[in-house]
Amino acid sequence: MQNYQHYINGTWVEPSSGEWFDTANPYTGEAWAKIAHGSPADVETAVSAAKAAFENGWADMKPTQRGRLLYKLADLIERDAAHLAEIEVRDNGKLIAEMSGQTKYMAEWYRYYGGLADKVEGAVIPTDKPGIFNFTRYEPLGVIGMITPWNSPLLLLAWKLAAALAAGNTAVIKPSEFTSASTLEFMKLFQEAGFPDGVVNTVSGFGVDVGAALVAHKDVSKIAFTGSDLSGQKIYESAAKTLKHISLELGGKSPNIVFEDADIEAAVMGAISGIFAATGQTCIAGSRLLLQRSIHDRFVERLVEVAKTATIGDPMSPDTHVGPVTTPPQYRKVLDYIEIAKQEGANCVLGGHSYSGPGAQGGQFVEPTIFTGVNNAMRIAQEEVFGPVLAVIPFDGEEDAIAIGNDVDFGLAAGVWTQDIGRAIRMSEKLRVGTVWINTYRAVSFASPFGGFKRSGIGRESGLDAIKEYMQVKSVWIAQETSVTNPFIMR
Ligand code: NAI
Ligand code: MG
């Protein structure tokens, strides 16, 4: 089996504990690599390397230079995209078609922020003070701790790292204990691209020791996190002790809302893409399907008909639509929620069980599952399942759709299917979510801000503004002539 060491200060480092843990292939259930089991001591080494790299030149390097390194990295990512995608699939069981798309596309984040690195401008402020010139400058925060989940390890890292590096920060990354291999493999490209030692570091391990130590470290200026709302909340609480900056991307319970005037066939595909793509393991899953009552029955009939044809099996096969669930706890969680929905009285019209039919291997598979007769107060409508389980909820008109759509603690995204442009605009205004898709679903780009309202998180990733999440503004005052003023009053 291959061993993956920590990457600290430009070199491969053995875990100081001398301990390793296995990472498994969700499709076969078998361990395929050994990962360095990090400890707070390893975090200490990595943070001091990142701090030194920040102070010894990275922050002061001309932004154009930092941008060039990011371009170079983007080229190397494209060269190695297929290789990185294979590692992702081996470790998280998502489809090769999706992961090769992601690993290729993530190069664009490094390019976009590489280009942005030298375009962040301060301002000359027209103050009311005579004889004093005032301007602002944007400066990096310092060492950024990045904690990522297992569903799209490299892409979700790119959303943080590209902006943070362009802004002049350095990084210590803690990938998910279930999928550390791709991030460690990715570190080779920083070496090859010529990033100075210590600018990017990865310490693998668990949330309780490595993650928590990173969050608690006084020399870490910000934590950028993607994962569950409960872990996000703990991290926020702990980060408060050292008054860190924070960005949290915490998942959702997104409504995919279909009006009777929609293109039904397109909306059926949108509903499927919302919940069965990536085996439902995406923060933006359209896990609540809101159907206008007049089309409810025929929509469900067509949805079941199409969903039935999804091929379950080997994520490395280009013909597979639904792969395994990534982690054993996640597998149990999805099956538990299916039981909960049944007990709550929801009506299971498709799936509803684990799957061990053709193509299942030793993997932890769950059938694509659809519940109708759900009311929005049920747990299946309120809590994030993070699996291929859809809750169908009827509604009666725009007001009703908005009320139900917003009646959850989360607010990450929403889909709206309608041919009426006025309605589309009204819905986009009234839905309390960070992203609204009209007549499409699951579109994301490096250029468009992404993040959550309410319990879905704090801060935005991607787009022009996101670079400022990794910077702070400084106000500089210069007296044009020295003059003696009364020192006991404010100027
Ligand atoms: P998690 O939120 O516990 O883990 C995400 C990352 O945070 C991992 O790297 C983990 O090691 C780290 N972590 C956990 N607790 C920490 C702590 N106290 N301090 C510092 N770091 C910590 O998510 P998990 O257990 O992998 O999945 C559980 C649920 O989270 C899923 O069922 C799903 O509902 C949700 N989830 C949401 C994601 C999203 O994209 N928003 C991604 C993955 C999971
Ligand atoms: Mg794994």
Q: Could you tell me the end-to-end alpha-carbon distance of the chain, in angstroms, rounded to an integer?
A: 68
151 lines ligand 1 (CB under 6 A): yes
The answer to whether domain 2-250+456-475 and domain 255-438 are alike in fold is no
- Per-residue model confidence (pLDDT) at position 300: 98
226 lines ligand 1 (CB under 6 A): yes
17 lines ligand 1 (CB under 6 A): no
Closest residue to atom 28 of ligand 1, CA basis? 228
- Per-residue model confidence (pLDDT) at position 482: 79
- Per-residue model confidence (pLDDT) at position 67: 98
- Per-residue model confidence (pLDDT) at position 90: 97
Out of 231, 236, 327, 332, mutate this one to test ligand 1's pocket (max ligand atoms within 8 Å of CB): namely 231
User: Which fold, 255-438?
Assistant: Aldehyde Dehydrogenase; Chain A, domain 2 (3.40.309)
Would residue 479 be called left, alpha or beta, if left means φ above 0 and alpha means ψ between -120 and 50 degrees? beta
* Cα 296 from Cα 275, distance rounded (Å): 17
Residue 63 DSSP symbol: H
Token pair for residue 274? 């919302």
Residue 252 three-state SS:
coil
* Cα 7 from Cα 11, distance rounded (Å): 6
Closest residue to atom 12 of ligand 1, CA basis? 207
Residue 327 three-state SS:
coil
What is the widest separation between alpha-carbon atoms in the chain? 86
Residues 13 and 5: beta-carbon distance below 8 Å: yes
Closest-lying ligand to the alpha carbon of 152? 1
| Catalytically active residues, by annotation | 249, 283
Per-residue model confidence as pLDDT tens for the chain (491 residues): 899 999 999 999 999 999 999 999 999 999 999 999 999 999 999 999 999 999 999 988 999 999 999 999 999 999 999 999 999 999 999 999 999 999 999 999 999 999 999 999 999 999 999 899 999 999 999 999 999 999 999 999 999 999 999 999 999 999 999 999 999 999 999 999 999 999 999 999 999 999 999 999 999 999 999 999 999 999 999 999 999 999 999 999 999 999 999 999 999 999 999 999 999 999 999 999 999 999 999 999 999 999 999 999 999 999 999 999 999 999 999 999 999 999 999 999 999 999 998 889 888 999 999 999 999 999 999 999 999 999 999 999 999 999 999 999 999 999 999 999 999 999 999 999 999 999 999 999 999 999 999 999 999 999 999 999 999 999 999 998 877 778 888 87
Residues 27 and 363: beta-carbon distance below 8 Å: yes
Residues 485 and 470: beta-carbon distance below 8 Å: no
Would residue 120 be called left, alpha or beta, if left means φ above 0 and alpha means ψ between -120 and 50 degrees? beta
167 lines ligand 1 (CB under 6 A): no
- Per-residue model confidence (pLDDT) at position 178: 98
Considering the segment(s) 2-250+456-475 as one domain, its CATH architecture is 3-Layer(aba) Sandwich (3.40)
Which of 183, 218, 215, 217 has the alpha carbon at shortest distance from 201? Answer: 183
Out of 184, 228, 330, mutate this one to test ligand 1's pocket (max ligand atoms within 8 Å of CB): namely 228
Residues with CB under 5 A from ligand 2 (ion): 23-24, 91, 178
* Cα 404 from Cα 143, distance rounded (Å): 41
Closest-lying ligand to the alpha carbon of 210? 1
Classify the C-alpha dihedral 113-115-118-119 as positive or negative.
negative
Name the strands in the sheet holding 435-438, side by side, starting at the edge strand that comes first in the sequence. 347-350, 369-372, 389-395, 288-292, 255-258, 413-417, 435-438
231 lines ligand 1 (CB under 6 A): yes
Domain extents in the chain? 2-250+456-475, 255-438
Residues 195 and 69: beta-carbon distance below 8 Å: yes
For the CA of 147, the closest atom of ligand 1 is: 9
239 lines ligand 1 (CB under 6 A): no
Name the strands in the sheet holding 20-24, side by side, starting at the edge strand that comes first in the sequence. 2-4, 31-36, 20-24
